[in-house]
Every structure is written in C-alpha cells, then in structure tokens.
Structure 1
Amino acid sequence: MSALQKSIMKSKLPPRCPRSYKQKLAPFGMSRCKNYQPESWKRFFHRTEDVETDGGTFRVYLTAEPDHPLRPRIVTLHGGGYSGLSWALFAEEVTYMVHCQVISIDIRGHGETQAKDPDDMSAETLVKDVEQVLQKLFGDEMPPLILVGHSMGGAIAVRAAHLPSLQHYVQGLVVIDVVEGTAMEALASMQSFLRGRPTHFKSIRHAIEWCVRSGQVRNVSSARVSMPSQIVNVETGLLATRELEDMSVDDSEADGAPLARADSIAEEDEPPESPDDLEPEPEPARVKHDEPVFVKPSEDLNVETGLLATRELEDMSVDDSEADGAPLARADSIAEEDEPPESPDELEEPEPARVKHDEPVFVKPSEDLNVETGLLATRELEDMSVDDSEADGAPLARADSIAEEDEPPESPDDLEPEPEPARVKHDEPVFVKPSEDLKRYKWRIDLSGTERHWAGWFRGLSALFLSAPAPRLLLLASIDGLDRELTVGQMQGKFQMQVLTRCGHAVHEDTPEEVARVVAAFALRHRLTSATESGENMNLVAAPGC
C-alpha cells in the first residue's frame, strides 16, 4: 500500500475520542507512560563473584547451580560498551528451559571489573582474561562450556574456543550479530555514531529512557537492568548499580510510597497505559436528609469563655438553638446557602468606607480576649509605643501606602537583602528537581578511545568461526549481514544459522526469550543438556538452518 493510499484510508476513519486527561510530555516527548525505573540484577542472577586474576578483578554474575555438576555452563560475553547484565533476561529464560548455569562476565573496562590496565583492549588480552577467569572459577574441574558472545564478545568467544586450555571443554559456540565483513565496513562510521550519543545523563531513569528511545535496546525491561551498569556517577566515580544496591526496597514497600526521584516530576501527570490502571475515584459520603449534620468542632479554646468547643456541644440543646433563632443546619440546607436571590432588588451592596489619604487608618481592635495572655486587645495597643515600632524599623502603615508596596525602590540601597537558602542536614535525603543541564552520570567506558583495537577484534573472524572444533550457531538480526566466506560456509552446512526479526543489534536484549529458545534448542540438538520440566512442555525443537 502506497503512502497516498494510507493517507486516504486514514481520512475515512472516524475521529479519535478526545482525551479526558491532560497529557504532560516527559523529556523526548513521550506519548505514553513507560516504566523507566531501574531494576536490580538480583532478580535474574543468584550471586556475584569478584575473580582475582593477573589482569585485575573481574565481576562475574552467576545463576543458581545446576542439578548436576556436569551440566553445561553458558559463558556469556557482552559487546563493546555493554556489561554482563545485558544478559540478565536471557539468563532467566534459558535456565527456565534447560538445565544449565549462566556465567556472565564484565569484560575489561566495563561494568564492575577493575583491570590493572583498562586501556589494553586488544583481542589477545581480552581472550586471556576470559581464560583466567574460567580457570579461577573451576580450576581442574572444568565443566562443559557453551561460549555465547555478542558483537565484540562474539569475536572474543570465537578466539577463546581455539585456546588449547579450553578447546576440550568448549562444547558449543554461539555468535550473535557479528560478521567480519559487515563489522569491518561499519568501523568507518563508528566514531560518528559515538559522537551522536549524549555524553552525560541527569539521572539513571533519563539514561534508561534514552537507551530505549534511541533504539540501542528496544526492550525496556532489559534496559532497566543493563543500562545502570553502563554509566557511572560523576561525583563518586561508582557504577550506577551501586546506588540501586544501597536503596532498600523493603523500606519503600513498607511505607507504600516509594521515594520520588528527581526526574520523575515531569512524569507525574502522564496518562496511564490502559484504563485499568486508573485508580477509582472515591464515592462521596452519603448523608441522610432526615438527620442533622454536625461538623467536627475545633480543639481550640473559646476566646470568650476559655472552654473547649466540645464543652459547648454538651451545653447546647435543641430548644436553646431554636430560641436563639439559629436552627440546626440540615444536610439539604447546604445547597440553599449559595442560591442566587430571586430579583436584583434583593442584592445589597455595602457602601465602601471613605478614607482620607492624609490620615493614618487605625483598625478598631476586637473586644475579645487574647487566648495566650488573657488580656483585651486594647491593652496590647497601650503597651505598644512609637519608639518600639520605629526601633524595629516597621512604622505604622498608612492607607495610602498600600499602592506603593509594589513600586520599585528609588536606589539599589533600598533593596532588601535576599534571605540565605535553608541549610539542610547531611544525614537527611534531599530530593530536588535537577536542572536540564545537570550532568550527574557519564559512560563507564570511552569507546572512542579504543579505536586502535577495533580492527584487531574482527580481522579473520569468519575463518576462525568456521574452523572452530565445537558445534557453531550464528544468530543474526538480518540476512543481509553475511559476508562471502560465511555465505559459502552456510551453504555447505558448516554451521547453524538463525535470523531473528523485530530486533536491533542487541538481539539478546530485544528478544531474550527467542534467543534463549534458539540456544536451548541448540544445546538439546547436540545433547549437551536436557530440558527442564517447564522446557518439556514448551516443545523445544531446534529450528533448521536457513
């Protein structure tokens, strides 16, 4: 259907229903409400471990131990700029389908890993890091391994599969959306792409929102987990995930009102995603018209008698109130108080008081008692003197001085000094709406500074992938991504290939359940593990190569 046909079809559609709520757009002009609240990794991984190697300390995320020590370990390696938490949703899905354990590593220079030389991002160094981490984790009891890598991590996985120390244990190799030919061609425009990204973010939620809206990750659930591990706090230098660990979920749930974050102010008036999300309005209280309504009395003292207002209710009787000409107010009499008069003649407008502008105006004090001192208000006037008022710098206000209050001062000396801002105790949390240019978070790694290593990551990748001794699986977001060498190898049946649609470059984050299903079927096809009870009901079948 052409664009012209689409416009004609749209013009024949009935008009949309008007919105019954006021829509307030958040940054980037979002049209519907989405949850950009960051989420902790603890829902997806069982534990973390910081592994000490010759290259530094590497953060490793692990799911629960499998039911048997010989079950395969799926070692996931992320792409450049991502982290080990980019595999969080995939780990949850694949362990639900087959018996295995997912081991997700923060590569050097990424996430919580603290390398001794973070600038050394060469392919040889990265492969050596993976080898040492696995040896530290398992030692001489190395279990079967399935190496899964995305983009840069895919290039590392392919090279690690050829290591003599790991070659015997690598039972499967999965590469996601990385091909030598297309990768080398994309390097020319990589710097332009990096310059187009924002350098700072005002909040974690702002970073998650950008991640989804820019298309880096199309799955908001995955971005909520992975994006905090890609940015650091400018002031503390710590990863944003550290802040999530410090936030107590139990406290916020106990109060029933989670702490409002600085960037959530603009989203308070956003419409709900569906009518079911609308909170029902409370029904108004029903009052019987045959019963009088009594207003809850104030707890203040009566200034004349010095008694509480509740004492007056005890002394009041229906006969007394009728004798005084003040019948009890009924529920249905409220609507009659504001009714307009029957004719304009009944409107009585009081004449305005005439005041001479050359004489000060003194308000007649009330004859009531001062509830604090017990003295008449006239006694206070006697105690006040002109000298005291002049000493305080506050002369009596004249009637003609009202119009002069808003006039500008004659000289800068007449300007009143601005009050100092309130000082806040440092032991109390302060939530302030930040300005638009506030730069609180930045990227964990400067990818533009690793340009000298880019070509080394992908050069010779196709040949190494085809020559790997383990079974091979290639997952792509588009069929156009194959280069000539892999096209020939695929036609010869040297590896299994699967193309997943409706996803971007981060295939495992955009469609984690589909990637997990393909990987689980791949492991079952080569008899590397068995399906769980839930996986058996899912009818996992390895899709044929395409």
Structure 2
Amino acid sequence: MSELQRSFAKAKLATLPPPEFDEADEDDGDYLTELPLEDDSSSASSASSASSTGTIRPLSSRNLFARPQGSPNKRTMDSIPWTTYFERELFIERDAAGQKITHHAYLTSPVGNGPLFVTHHGAGSSGLSFAVLTAQLRKLLPSAGILSLDARGHGSTTITPDTAQLDLSLETLSTDLVAVVNGTKTQMKWNALPPLVLIGHSLGGAVVTHVAKSGSLGNAILGYAVLDVVEGSAIDALQSMQTYLSTRPVGFPTLEAGIEWHIRSRTIRNSLSARTSVPALLTYNEELKGSRAWTWKTDLAATQPFWEDWFIGLSKKFLEAKGGKLLLLAGTDRLDKELMIGQMQGKYALQVFPEAGHFIHEDLPEKTAMVIADFYKRNDRSALILPPKVSDLLKQGKRI
C-alpha cells in the first residue's frame, strides 16, 4: 500500500464513530462460559463464538449478530406463571361418593361465537401442559376460548377427605371432564355451551374419546383430537412403565432443577413449555431437606391399577364416536391394525411429527396448533351454507 493510500485510510477511519459494546455481554461472562443444555425447540442449541464476552456488536437497529435466544441454562430456568397464557382460573366444587371435589381449571373465554377448546392432560401432568399450545392457537384463532383442567390427583384439583384410595378409572375421569365443562358454563353464566373441540394427550386422549363416544356433552362437540396415544402401543408400553418410574428422580433440590431435568432428559424438548408446565407437577415438602425437597404431586406408581382400563377398547371408540377425529402421533409405528384400516378408509385425519417426543404439544406447540386450527376450520358448522328447506320454498310460492 502506498503512503498516499495509508494517509487516506487513516483520515477515513478517524471520522468513524467508535464501535459499540453490549454491556450485557460484559456482565454475562460466567453465563457464557457454561455449556448450554440441549434444546430441540430452537436452532440455537449451542453457543456461538460471536456471543463470547466482549464481542463487538453492530448498532441495535442492525442487530445482526445478537445472541441466539432460547438456550435453556441457569439464567432461563425461572418458571413462567399461568397468567401469561390464561385470563383466569376456576374452582368448581361438587360432591361425589361422599367426597368434596374442587376441580381446578384454567380458562380463557371464547369471543362471540368462537369455539372452546377443552384440553385434558396425560397421567402425571397438569392443565399447564397445554399452556404454550393454547397461546399459539389463540394467535391463529383469536376468537377461540381455552378450558384446560387439572384431573383429580393432579395439579391444583383437591379432594376432601383424601383418605380413600384415589379413583382414576376412565369412567370417573370422564364424568369429571363433563362436570368441569358444565360447571364452567354455570360459573361463566353462558346461555349454552359454545362449539367444543376436545383435545387429550395420552391418558387425556382416552378420556376425551370416552366422553365423545358417550354423548354426555350432546351436539356441542364438533370434534376431538387425540395426541400420541394408540391402544396397542399404549398397552405394550405399560410393561415398561415401572422401569421408567424407577429411573425417574424421587425429588429435586430446587424447582429450577426439576425444570432442568425435564429438558436434559428430553422428557420435554421445549424449554419455554418446561418452564411453564413443570412447576405445576412439583410441590415443596418442608419435612424433606436437601436434594429431594421438591417432590412429585402425583404418585404415578399408585395409578397402576387403572392403566389397562384407560386404554382397552380405545381404537374402536375413537373410530365410532360422533364428530371430527384427529390423531397426532410422534411416529407411524404407534398405529395399530384397527387404526391403520380406519386411516386408509378416511375415517379420521392423521398427522405425524417424527421430530417430537411423547409430549407433542409441548415439544412442537406451533406446528401442533396449526394442525388443530385447520382441523377446527374443517369441522366448523357455522361456515356451512345449507340449501333452503323445501317447505320454506313452498311457503314462498316457489316451484320445486
């Protein structure tokens, strides 16, 4: 480079403003040196060299090299409250078999003639399992309402006195679901039930199918969606349930540690959903100190007597119940013979997400919401334009 060129370059550089440094990077030295946990919910599952301490960044208006968001680490293990996703919580009381049950549910009311999506979680989960999914549904269907309940023995639903053995039979859980829907109608003073779409995951899929088949909610049900449960594979999986439970931690030292375990073990592959749903699964036990102070609210091992009752006959009921039918699976290997035949005959809609785990709605909430929203639109009766009745045409003097 000639002396003239060097002089020109120096003069030009002198007129430029100094580079901006992000103060957050200076403060986050410890955070950035930690290896992030694996998170399939985002492409940002590993740290970028451009995110290291002191990296020069462009102006905020041109944030081209901003640190990727979503990596589950100690800074992002804080729980997310239910108020982020729902407008209110409901407590519906009723007496049954000499016990007082207080059903707990989360609600966002439908707007106008919008539908109400009623969700039922799987064994060991809670109503917040669907929180992130319902937020995505509301983006696609702004007038839709969401009712997400905690089954008995789960979440914040309570029974007094609780001395008797917990009844988690399919018939009882189905009765509870109908009671919560009707109780919500009463508390909210709705003149009639809005159009219903039932959504159930695992055990919840068996419950919503049983309710749809029984006709307990009348003609209000437009359709029902079952998430990752099929009779044949579910019964086969029961053989290994005890093995799974024996490998699961008995408790956690902190709530954040419980969230972290769900992500590390890939039980839930979306850190946002884990931070929302896991807190409702754990309770703090003051008598236990140290590494097991946060324990499970639901004793899954105690539900073993009901396992077969939940799933036997599920495929037949799923195909025979009235209303639109949607089955979402994490793999086609879960289909049994009866459902394979029904799928080829076009009796229900099928969507497979091979990149998801068992908790499809938590791992892939946006994709799941898109499928469910399309399912609702295909079954929306208000969109139908029916031809006029012959009797009405005759009254108008028209020739037939």
- Give the TM-score taking structure 1 as reference length: 0.54
Structure 1 residues 509 and 123: alpha-carbon distance in aligned structure 2, compared to 1, 3 A threshold:
same
Q: Deviations over 1:464-514 (max 9, x none)?
A: 000011110000010111000000000111001011132100000000011
Q: 2: CA distance between counterparts of 1:529 and 1:516? A: 20
Instruction: In structure 1, give the amino acid aligned to 2:105.
Output: V
Structure 2 residue corresponding to 1:472, chosen from 325, 335, 345:
325
> Structure 1 residue 49 and structure 2 residue 59: aligned?
no
Q: CA deviation at 1:144?
A: 1.4
Contact preservation (8 Å) 1:72, 1:529 = no
Residue number in structure 2 paired with 1:519: 372
Q: 2: CA distance between counterparts of 1:212 and 1:195? A: 19
Structure 1 residues 236 and 106: alpha-carbon distance in aligned structure 2, compared to 1, 3 A threshold:
farther
- Partner-residue secondary structure (3-state), 2:91: strand
Contact preservation (8 Å) 1:72, 1:528 = no
Larger strand fraction of residues? 2
Percent sequence identity over matched residues? 40
Q: 2: CA distance between counterparts of 1:203 and 1:167? A: 45
Instruction: In structure 2, give the amino acid aligned to 1:109.
Output: G
Structure 2 residue corresponding to 1:105, chosen from 149, 153, 161:
149
Counterparts of 1:259-278 in structure 2, within 5 Å, are: none
> Structure 1 residue 451 and structure 2 residue 304: aligned?
yes
Instruction: In structure 2, give the amino acid aligned to 1:508.
Output: H
Q: Deviations over 1:2-45 (max 9, x none)?
A: xxxxxxxxxxxxxxxxxx989456999x9866221111111111
Residue number in structure 2 paired with 1:114: 158
> Structure 1 residue 66 and structure 2 residue 121: aligned?
no
> Structure 1 residue 189 and structure 2 residue 240: aligned?
yes
Q: 2: CA distance between counterparts of 1:516 and 1:27? A: 26
Larger helix fraction of residues? 2
Q: CA deviation at 1:142?
A: 1.8
Structure 2 residue corresponding to 1:211, chosen from 259, 262, 266:
262
Contact preservation (8 Å) 2:233, 2:335 = yes
Residue number in structure 2 paired with 1:90: 133
Q: Deviations over 1:413-465 (max 9, x none)?
A: xxxxxxxxxxxxxxxxxxxxx9xx43210000110011000000000000000
Counterparts of 1:257-336 in structure 2, within 5 Å, are: none
Q: Deviations over 1:352-393 (max 9, x none)?
A: xxxxxxxxxxxxxxxxxxxxxxxxxxxxxxxxxxxxxxxxxx
Q: 2: CA distance between counterparts of 1:528 and 1:230? A: 37
- Partner-residue secondary structure (3-state), 1:54: strand
Residue number in structure 1 paired with 2:59: none
Q: 1: CA distance between counterparts of 2:342 and 2:329? A: 15
Structure 1 residues 91 and 169: alpha-carbon distance in aligned structure 2, compared to 1, 3 A threshold:
same
- Partner-residue secondary structure (3-state), 1:168: helix
Structure 2 residue corresponding to 1:147, chosen from 198, 201, 209:
198
Structure 1 residues 81 and 500: alpha-carbon distance in aligned structure 2, compared to 1, 3 A threshold:
same
> Structure 1 residue 491 and structure 2 residue 344: aligned?
yes
Structure 1 residues 45 and 442: alpha-carbon distance in aligned structure 2, compared to 1, 3 A threshold:
same
Larger Rg: 1
Instruction: In structure 1, give the amino acid aligned to 2:80.
Output: E
Q: 2: CA distance between counterparts of 1:167 and 1:124? A: 17
Contact preservation (8 Å) 1:71, 1:529 = no
**Higher RCO (C-alpha under 8 Å, 6+ residues apart):** 1
Q: 1: CA distance between counterparts of 2:136 and 2:338? A: 32
Instruction: In structure 2, give the amino acid aligned to 1:128.
Output: T
Contact preservation (8 Å) 2:262, 2:268 = yes
Q: CA deviation at 1:528?
A: 4.9
Q: 1: CA distance between counterparts of 2:120 and 2:241? A: 21
Instruction: In structure 2, give the amino acid aligned to 1:215.
Output: R
Instruction: In structure 2, give the amino acid aligned to 1:230.
Output: L
Structure 1 segments unaligned to the other structure (5+ residues): 1-19, 238-433, 531-546
Residue number in structure 2 paired with 1:11: none
Q: 1: CA distance between counterparts of 2:381 and 2:354? A: 27
Aligned residue-pair number: 310
Q: 2: CA distance between counterparts of 1:208 and 1:131? A: 32
Q: 2: CA distance between counterparts of 1:79 and 1:438? A: 27
Structure 1 residues 26 and 506: alpha-carbon distance in aligned structure 2, compared to 1, 3 A threshold:
closer
Contact preservation (8 Å) 1:53, 1:133 = no
Counterparts of 1:262-411 in structure 2, within 5 Å, are: none
Contact preservation (8 Å) 1:97, 1:517 = yes
Residue number in structure 1 paired with 2:119: 76
Q: CA deviation at 1:95?
A: 1.1
Contact preservation (8 Å) 2:111, 2:145 = no
Q: 2: CA distance between counterparts of 1:31 and 1:526? A: 42
- Partner-residue secondary structure (3-state), 1:165: coil
CA RMSD of aligned residues (A): 2.3
> Structure 1 residue 37 and structure 2 residue 78: aligned?
yes
Contact preservation (8 Å) 1:89, 1:509 = yes
Contact preservation (8 Å) 2:222, 2:380 = no
Residue number in structure 1 paired with 2:280: 229
Instruction: In structure 1, give the amino acid aligned to 2:137.
Output: V
Q: 2: CA distance between counterparts of 1:528 and 1:222? A: 32
Structure 2 residue corresponding to 1:500, chosen from 353, 357, 362:
353
Instruction: In structure 2, give the amino acid aligned to 1:504.
Output: G
- Give the TM-score taking structure 2 as reference length: 0.73
Q: 2: CA distance between counterparts of 1:131 and 1:459? A: 21
Structure 1 residues 192 and 516: alpha-carbon distance in aligned structure 2, compared to 1, 3 A threshold:
same
Q: CA deviation at 1:135?
A: 1.3
Q: CA deviation at 1:54?
A: 2.3
Counterparts of 1:110-189 in structure 2, within 5 Å, are: 110-116=154-160, 119-139=166-186, 141-189=192-240
